[in-house]
Chain A
């Protein structure tokens, strides 16, 4: 894959202001917990309607190496075992829990566990049992992400604080506020990988996060690299370059701050992955902010926590403004991988009727992997999938920039994603 040094866009930095830090959202009265929150094995429910569950109790079990259990985010009674529609439009089995009883962890002082003598296998086991899912580009179980084949050299572990997609600021905020726990989570992940080659890549736009991680890193072996504030800045090849790798065979494992934070809580406090920090944004949101939300909370309740909406949004999006998914209902539940919920106005989504390509080349200039989206689009429209593949279709990272900058409002990235599945 060719990664050019230019390309991408430079996000503006003075248009949306939110509060720094985050707070715990109110506990929802009902949580609809999807069982399929990651790629891999199918998760089966272990509870049935009427069962009483405690906070953090396993309610779903997955078979196979790629599966992780799902836990009850709140205590209560199982009111329904059925299906729900996830943000990507797929259906997943889900368990609805009505809040009742008392919390075992929330609001209580938890005892800290010493993990320094744990073996890599022990650490991975604890991570798996806690149901930790990687929140990066692919929703893989974290214990799978942190496993390398036997006999291979120690991999490079990279903490990705270079997410620059508009509104996806929860990870940077987590580092800024809680750098110590993030760093300890990174060390635990390094133990699971049995590596000491630790790197952090920070975008210049996340200055507070950069300062915080530098402050706590001290004399640790963590090497911190700064990259220009452009979107995208954290493609795998970009991170490899940022860490000074010029084509070596060393495997690179990329983890996000929220992943290592969940690992920290799982290994140090035995807490399952039942909540996460979410960015709430969009011009229609009354109070853009970062909040810690229980898995299974409806998107509508997350907006309500932030003061509701100032106007009817043109689009509700789960994820970033460019790569996020448009959801049809505010009842869509938060999952372990939900990084942001956005209420975007007409101005922000720049929606419009698709018009013919004018050949302006804005997409080609923006593409971070040096593709020619105009050519790919023409080839796909003509059904020439083999030529599209030869033109680099499979190299598309689906960063969403081409569609975002296109003045003809051609849904390029959606078209490429569909064609990739067809070509593959």
Chain B
């Protein structure tokens, strides 16, 4: 009885619960959405409230009707996360009604129609946004830059205000720094979270720190997007900022990379499938950015790639069974 023997326990997985996963995702998204509200003011806040209300009403509505599972998606923060993604990706000009409609559709059609939590394979928020674009009049109609800026408040004035408040504490931060943080120069029809690169990167620390998304997924997306974009001769002049890095910074790509792709229920099960999913989404996004839908390209690309997730999983199972 001399040398010690080890008893191994518990295991390699992080001990997160389902609600813990979504709570952390919700916390990360709240950072981005809060920055969007700080930039956009009351109109942006109304969009967020609208998306949350629409999603919750949709969840309760669908759960009350009939379903084989005895839980509502509202429990465990899932609805909150979906609603925040809807809000972040909704054009500010759509207003709270449009956001509520998108949130409602995300839960009813995106979550409950395929059978409820754990049974959908297309990202519910993307489904909701896509349907809202189709069925809700005015949800994604083009507006001028001036209109959008008016709808989103005055970021320049907000930057001045923040600089002044912090200056009273003896800390000098130039207003330009806040302006760059809040991205004044956003394109027409910009979604709420467009251009919030720094808050998004900050929030991504929570996502990766908690191991909520396998790094292979955003990596495969970004690398394939960059290669395809470079391979086809760069972005056309009609795309948002006209050059790839600006598009990457000011479009919904950061939101997609760190938050849309974290949804556990809509990503492939295994490493190979994750890589294939990322490559498909990144390639599709690069191609779509040359089309008439440059702003929504990342979201549409994930939706398209998501439709192939069952195929990726099936191929993996077949290979393993051999």
Contact = CB atoms under 8 A, between A and B. Distances in A.
Given A2-B321, A350-B15, A13 B118 contact: no
B308 to A, nearest CB: 16
A18 B9 CA distance: 13
A10 B76 contact: no
Interface in A202-243: 205, 208, 229
Given A205-B8, A358-B18, A20 B1 contact: yes
Task: Identify the interface centre among A11, A169, A362: most chain B CB within 10 Å of its CB.
Answer: A11
A349 to B, nearest CB: 9
B317 A356 contact: no
B5 A208 contact: yes
A348 B10 contact: yes
Given A2-B320, A20-B2, A356-B116, A321 B269 contact: no
B44 to A, nearest CB: 29
Given A18-B4, A361-B264, A11 B21 contact: no
Size range of the interface on B? Answer: 35 or more
Contacts of B115: 378
A322 B85 CA distance: 37
Contacts of A16: 6-9
Nearest to B322: A2
B117 interface: yes
B71 interface: yes
A374 B118 contact: yes
Given A16-B7, A21-B2, 13 more contacts: A13-B8, A15-B10, A205-B8, A356-B75, A357-B18, A358-B21, A359-B121, A360-B21, A361-B268, A378-B115, A404-B11, A408-B18, A408-B118
Contacts of B2: 20-21
Nearest to B2: A20
A208 B4 CA distance: 11
Interface string B65-105: 00011010101101000000000000000000000000000
9 contacts: A18-B7, A20-B3, A166-B7, A166-B8, A355-B17, A356-B69, A359-B121, A361-B269, A408-B18
Contacts of A358: 18, 21-22, 76, 78, 117-118, 264-265
A94 to B, nearest CB: 31
A359 B118 contact: yes
B236 to A, nearest CB: 37
B7 A169 contact: yes
Interface in A286-332: 288, 321
Interface stretch (A187-195, A254-262, A364-372, A415-423): A364-372
Interface in B110-130: 115-121
Given A358-B118, A359-B119, A281 B320 contact: no
Given A355-B17, A359-B119, A364 B269 contact: yes
B5 A350 contact: no
A13 B10 CA distance: 9
B12 A9 contact: yes
A125 B4 CA distance: 39
Nearest to B71: A356
B5 A173 contact: yes
Nearest to A372: B317
A352 interface: yes
B142 interface: no
A166 B118 contact: no
A421 B12 CA distance: 31
A381 B7 contact: no
Task: Identify the interface centre among A15, A21, A281, A407: most chain B CB within 10 Å of its CB.
Answer: A407
A169 B4 CA distance: 13
Nearest to B20: A407
Contact of B317 (A10, A13, A370): A370
The 9 tightest CB contacts between A and B, nearest first, are A357-B118, A359-B265, A11-B8, A360-B264, A361-B269, A356-B117, A166-B9, A16-B7, A356-B71
A359 to B, nearest CB: 3
B123 to A, nearest CB: 11
A23 interface: yes
Contacts of A4: 320
B187 to A, nearest CB: 34
Contacts of A279: 7
B262 to A, nearest CB: 10
Task: Identify the interface centre among A20, A350, A360, A381: most chain B CB within 10 Å of its CB.
Answer: A360
A249 B6 CA distance: 38
Nearest to A349: B10
A23 B1 CA distance: 9
A175 to B, nearest CB: 12
A19 interface: yes
Interface in B1-47: 1-13, 15-22
Contacts of A9: 11-13
A17 B4 contact: yes
A42 interface: no
B261 to A, nearest CB: 13
Contacts of A20: 1-5
B321 A356 contact: no
B10 to A, nearest CB: 6
B283 interface: no
Given A356-B116, A370-B317, A381 B69 contact: yes
Task: Identify the interface centre among A2, A23, A408: most chain B CB within 10 Å of its CB.
Answer: A408
A12 interface: yes
A357 B119 CA distance: 8
